Structure formats: C-alpha cells, structure tokens
Structure 1
Amino acid sequence: MVRVWIRVALFIISWLSVIFLPNKKAIFVKYLPVSLFSSLTVMCEIFYFTTHKLWTVKGGQENQTHTAFLLLFGPYTVLTIWFFYLSKGKFLLYAFINLAADLIYAFPIIALLKKFDIYKIKVKSINFFLLIFADALLNFGFQKVIENIYPKTNNFPKN
C-alpha cells in the first residue's frame, strides 16, 4: 500500500507544481509537444526494458502499467515542461539542469525507489544515466525542430 501512495504522491505533487508556472497556458502550448514526444520515447524504452526483463515492478503487469503511467504522465511530463521553461531555450543551461537532475535520478532516487520496492532497473546506474541524458538532448533537438516549424512559439511568454 505504501508503494501505491508513493506513486500517486509523485504524480499529484508534480502536477501541483504547475501552479507556480507563470502564464501556464502559453508555456503548455509551447512545451507540451516536446513533453509528449519525450513521454513517447520513454514509453518505448519502458516497453523495451519490460520485454527484456530489465525493469520490474512488484505486483505484476498491472502494477507495472500503473507505475509507468503515473511516472510518464506525472513527474516526467511536468519536469520536461519545467526544465524547458527554466532554461528558456539556452542549450547549456538546459544541459546543465538535465545533467544535475539525471544524476540525482539515476543514482540516489533509483536506489531509494529500489529500497522502497517501487521498482527495480537491472541496468548499471551509469548506463541508465547516459540513456536518460541522451533522451534530454534528443528532446532539446525536437523542441528546436518544433520551434522552426512553428516560429510563433519562439516568442516566449512574459513572466
């Protein structure tokens, strides 16, 4: 039961953090495509990890599906929007924010999630870090393509 509450709390807290975004509608219009793209990318990775038994969740397939959904459309989606908002399109700042966040996630947070028996990843932490950091760089490239296709999104909302 504690595992369920932790997953749900992560989902709710991440969406509550959106309250602190200024001009929410404009920020969502600008960053929702990249956030959905990144969620789709991670969903494919979860599928691969699940198929090859590199990611396990206690409680079977149903718990694994719930965990994936709550993480993808909770913290992962919201943090993608936050990281793009905070970096304001500057690559080095975006890379630094993701470097710090991905290091924290790949090492202490994954270890904590294992300890609470939320889920286990059977990949070395450094390899997992490299994967999620590569995802972040891919997301930045995708956002730049979107901004070139839809130039009006380049006008960042005023704070």
Structure 2
Amino acid sequence: MLKYSRFLLLLMMILPWFSLPFIDKKSFKRYYPASLFISIVVWLESYIAKKRRWWWFYESIHPKIRGETPLIWGPFFIGSLWIMKFTYGKFYLYLLINLLVDSFFSYRLVNWFQKLGISSLVRMTRLQLLFVFQFKALLLYGFQLLKEKRNIVDHNKSTS
C-alpha cells in the first residue's frame, strides 16, 4: 500500500500539469501570479499545520518532501489557474465553484486519503478545513483584484 500511496501522490502532482497547454497564454500570464501567491501561502500554512497538528501526512513522495507538496504544486496550483480563468469577474460563481471543490476535498478526499494511509485530520474538523479553504479562496480572489487594480493604475500612468 505504501508504494501505491506514493505513486498516487506523484500522479496527483503531475497529472494536472498536462492540462496547462489548454490554458491560453494570456490567461496564464494574468492568473499565474495569484496562483503562485496562494500556493506559497498554502505551502507556508503546511508548516503551521504540522506544528499545531491540524492534519498529519503519513506518506510523501520522498522523505525530504512535505506530504502536502504534491497537492499544493499539482491540483491546487493548476486548479487555481483554471478556476480563476473561468470565474474571475463573476464573484458569486467563483465562491460557488470553490465551495463545491473545497467541500469535495474536505468531505470526500480527506476520507479517501485516510483510508489509503496518506493523511488524516488531527486537530481540525472537516468543517474547519472547509472554512480555511474558503478563506484562502477569498485571499486568492483579493490578490487578483489588487493585481488588476494595480495594472490599471500602472497603465493609466504610462499613457498620461
């Protein structure tokens, strides 16, 4: 089961990247900074989570790599790009899509990871995890909003 879990984590990290060629260059350039920002936030959050034992990863793709790493730099990073591409500017749709995706992760994938011996929640409930995800979704959207406003200001300065 151990080798299978590592392989599964590796697949989860690599497979989302195969969808990248289907994101047009303009969208990638537009949303890449926000996706990178929130992925770094989540990566830093993993250190807090470990210290406070919010969750625990029993499995990793390599002993020197945090268990969350494949999820952060695979589906989370690429998923953030796709969600921003299809929902940015439609805030309520953005919130709804994130709520659906985050609920699926919090209630389905967490159970699956636990059954496979990959990870489990320790001092955090599924509902608390969902709230944390929703906070990060707002942070991602807010970052993109600020970035877009800054681009407008910079564009206005350069044309005047």
Structure 1-normalised TM-score? Answer: 0.86
Q: Which residue of 2 aligns with 1:137?
A: 138
CA distance in structure 1 between the aligned counterparts of 2:135 and 2:45, rounded to whole angstroms:
12
Partners in 2 of 1:20 and 1:110 — Cα distance? 28
Please tell me whether the aligned partners of residues 10 and 71 of structure 1 are also in contact (alpha carbons under 8 angstroms): yes
Partner residue, 2:10: 8
Shift of 1:140: 0.5
Q: Which stretches in structure 2 are left out of the alignment for 5+ residues?
A: 154-160
Closer, same or farther in 2 for the Cα pair 1:75/1:137, shift >3 Å? same
Deviations 1:2-33 (A, max 9, x none): 11111111112111122332x2x211211111
Question: CA separation in 1, counterparts of 2:134 and 2:76?
Answer: 13
Q: 1:64 to 1:71 in 2, by over 3 A?
A: farther
**1:93 offset after TM fit, Å?**
1.0
- Give the share of equivalent positions with the same residue, in percent: 25
Q: TM-score, normalised by structure 2?
A: 0.85
Residue 146 (structure 1) aligned with residue 147 (structure 2): yes
**Equivalent in the alignment of 1:121:** 121
Contact 1:12 1:74 in 2 (8 A): yes
Aligned to 1:95: 95
Q: Deviations over 1:75-94 (max 9, x none)?
A: 11000001001114211111
> Structure 2: how far apart are the matches of 1:64 and 1:102?
27
2:156 alignment counterpart: none
Partners in 2 of 1:64 and 1:105 — Cα distance? 25
Q: CA separation in 2, counterparts of 1:109 and 1:59?
A: 15
The Cα shift of 1:115 comes to: 0.8
Q: How many residues align?
A: 149
Q: Provide the C-alpha distance between the structure 1 equivalents of 2:132 and 2:66, rounded to a whole number of angstroms.
A: 22
Deviation at 1:99, TM superposition (A): 0.8
Computed over aligned residues only, the root mean square deviation of the Cα atoms, in angstroms, reads 1.8
Partner of 2:76: 76
For the Cα contact (< 8 Å) 2:36–2:77, is it kept in 1? Answer: yes
